[in-house]
Amino acid sequence: GAVVSQHPSWVICKSGTSVKIECRSLDFQATTMFWYRQFPKQSLMLMATSNEGSKATYEQGVEKDKFLINHASLTLSTLTVTSAHPEDSSFYICSARKNTEAFFGQGTRLTVV
């Protein structure tokens, strides 16, 4: 199957700082990538749809100024959590579609202390 690489796998940051997470499609081009957040023992919740060359589409309740998404190329989307707070601690996962299938990155576990 296709490969989606996400980096970093885990990060610990201080409250008030910003963290950037990268999502790359390694062997295919992805005009659309998706960012999900998953709290413990809960399902994936879609945060936003990242569109190459245009603004991301955010789900209701997700602050676009806090979760900055940039999809500058057909193989890279980034999610920046700005001014992170402990309640932002979660598992962030990106996915990209290749044909009819959605492939996921490895996920990034963010802990804000």
Partner 1 sequence: QKEVEQNSGPLSVPEGAIASLNCTYSDRGSQSFFWYRQYSGKSPELIMFIYSNGDKEDGRFTAQLNKASQYVSLLIRDSQPSDSATYLCASETADNAGNMLTFGGGTRLMVKP
Contact between 24 and partner 1 by CB under 8 A: the answer reads no
Cβ-contact 61, 70 below 8 angstroms: no
Contact between 82 and partner 1 by CB under 8 A: the answer reads no
Contact between 102 and partner 1 by CB under 8 A: the answer reads yes
Contact between 67 and partner 1 by CB under 8 A: the answer reads no
Contact between 68 and partner 1 by CB under 8 A: the answer reads no
All residues at 6 or more sequence positions from 34 whose CB lies less than 8 Å from its CB, including other chains = 46, 48, 49, 50, 94, 95, 96, 102
Pair of tokens at residue 113:
């202390």
In the list 32, 70, 80, 89, the residue contacting partner 1 (rule: CB under 8 A) is 32
In whole angstroms, what is the distance from residue 29 CA to residue 82 CA? 27
Q: How many helices (H) and strands (E) does the chain have?
A: 0, 11
Contact between 35 and partner 1 by CB under 8 A: the answer reads no
In the list 13, 20, 28, 49, the residue contacting partner 1 (rule: CB under 8 A) is 49
Contact between 98 and partner 1 by CB under 8 A: the answer reads no
Total residues binding partner 1 (CB under 8 A): 25
